Structure 1
């Protein structure tokens, strides 16, 4: 109930003052973290931070349609798909210079490469847990949300400086900005065509969440920490099965627009509740211990994605079918 109230307050402030709802829910949750330790609340908070977030991620599948591949064209699809493993690989390699092991490297790089806070939540759900798991998740969500907000303001200016037309600008924004909301804001600040293209490209990145989670689950099955009394994660988590099933359903038939809108809103609310619950379980002092190195890693991963995509768009002959 507390996480639900936090989600309501966050959405209200976001709609009226423009602040990112996900970030607000997290910060409000952290400010009330003393409630999460109360015996009457701890079980519900844990349920929200785990089960609710997985349901929210699964429902994201109805935002995906395989038809978007035909709309974007194979060169664009190839670029967007290739940048996901490239960015994750870059993060895993560079993280060693920042003093981090695979957990934070994969969490941060996956969030940057795919879809920001939503990807961070999904990846955290399958990573082997240790004492710092929730602190790393909170730091990553805050970091990618702030970086997405900065990108929403600066990337349209960069697109104009690089001489991109509306379609190319839409590809650039959709392929580089972390969170969906900021992609939409940045795209439509240029033009409707740029906004529609950016949204399609971003949704293609969201679609990469399922294969990344499946591959990661396979690689991580033997890496659970015995001291945390954990079972090995399933080969394919059930929330990924749900994600793929709903994406397939949305591709196989024309679902009512009202249903798609309802599910999209439901997913957003569930993720808000989940991130509020994560905040309720978080101790600010522990998050601050993640440190400047973590912030530096997130920035480097973000710059890598932005620079490589910009170079690709200026060098490669990419054509896109109009989305209008």
Structure 2
């Protein structure tokens, strides 16, 4: 067990970098609330402006701690916003449709990555982020896949890309729904099943009507609810690839995420506490994104090229096309 002296020394080592990440996160929150733009994007951009502090002795370790440990903690607490009961309002057909859309989109990500000579890690990150829940899914998936020298910049690119595409979708998808003659329920399902980030789903859905907003939110929460299942499947697949099922060990944060989700589903977490945990999760994820931004070299990001953009744009369009077919043919049950 670490002594008090060791703990104090570690705290002093981590504090400057943590303070930097927290300050950036607070600035991003302020700007997001006052200018109605995605907080994740602000955190990334501001963080990237402080890249020169990533390798400083005084801040480097704290920034790494924020980008890894705080990230995993935030993902665990994210389970407090999810309950299995959220699925009930959609029904069996809606559940099957949403799960199928997610699986097909992730699979399509591997095809796109191969077409544009990108690696399987990038396929997992972008396909999962597009299919599930944007930046949060990208961060959760990145915590599981084996890292290499391109992982961090791929994660940052994915977060920037899905946040940007979500903002564009928030504006365009309601217009497309109206032009396509979709009902409010159909429009809500389409938005909830396709827009990447929760905030943009809410904004797009309620810009149409209350019914559309409610449907969009429920469908989006269903996608988030399926995140632990995707994480477990990925962890098992990677473990089997490395050493066989006898050595399968789920990451602790995945187990924690699932445990919190189940506890919340069965009412073991009081509503007031769940709200606090969700707020804490939101802050931790923004702080982690800010730290990742600090660790990101802009030149390395620009060196990624147009193929990265092509992959994630095609995945987004593919998901939209599938969801449109599902709602227009009645497969979604709305």
TM interval, short-chain normalised: over 0.9
CA contact (8 A) 1:172 1:198 kept: yes
Q: Distance between the aligned counterparts of 1:185 and 1:234, measured in 2?
A: 40
Residue in 1 that maps onto 2:183: 165
Which residue among 80, 85, 94 is the counterpart of 2:98? 80
Is 1:125–2:139 an aligned residue pair? no
Rounded to whole Å, the distance in 2 between the matches of 1:270 and 1:94 is 32
Return the match for 1:246 from 257, 260, 269: 260
Residue from 289, 298, 301 that aligns with 1:284: 298
1:21-52: CA deviations, max 9, x gaps? 00110111111011111011111111111111
Could you say which residue in structure 1 is the equivalent of 2:88?
70
User: Is contact 1:128–1:223 with CA below 8 Å preserved after alignment?
Assistant: no
CA drift of 1:217 comes to: 1.3
1:307 to 321, 327, 334: 321
Please identify, of 270-279 and 65-74, the stretch whose mean Cα deviation from structure 2 is larger: 65-74
> In the comparison of the two structures, how many residue pairs are matched?
312
2:61 counterpart (14, 20, 43): 43
Q: CA deviation at 1:165?
A: 1.4
Structure 1: runs of 5+ lacking an equivalent:
225-232
Work out whether residues 214 and 235 of structure 1, in 8 Å CA contact, stay in contact via their aligned partners in 2. Answer: no
Equivalent position to 1:99, from 107, 114, 117: 117
Q: Name the CA shift for 1:59/1:234 in 2 (closer, same or farther; >3 Å).
A: farther
Indicate the RMSD between aligned Cα atoms, in angstroms: 1.5
- Per the normalisation by structure 1, the TM-score is 0.93
Q: Which runs of 5+ in 2 are unaligned?
A: 1-18
Q: Which moved more, 1:208-217 or 1:117-126?
A: 208-217
What residue number does 1:294 align with? Answer: 308
Task: State which structure, 1 or 2, has the greater radius of gyration over its C-alpha atoms.
Answer: 2
Structure 2 counterpart of 1:3, from 1, 18, 21:
21
1:38 counterpart SS class:
coil
8 Å CA contact retained: 1:30, 1:279: yes
Aligned to 1:134: 152
Give the direction of change, closer, same or farther, for the CA distance of 1:52–1:316 in structure 2 (3 Å limit).
same
Which residue is 1:203 aligned to? 221
- CA gap of 1:84–1:158, structure 2 versus 1, over 3 A, is same
Partner of 2:16: none
TM-score (ref. length: structure 2): 0.90
Retained in 1: the 8 A contact 2:327–2:333? no
Q: CA deviation at 1:256?
A: 3.5
Q: What secondary structure, in the 3-state scheme, does the structure 1 residue paired with 2:219 have?
A: helix
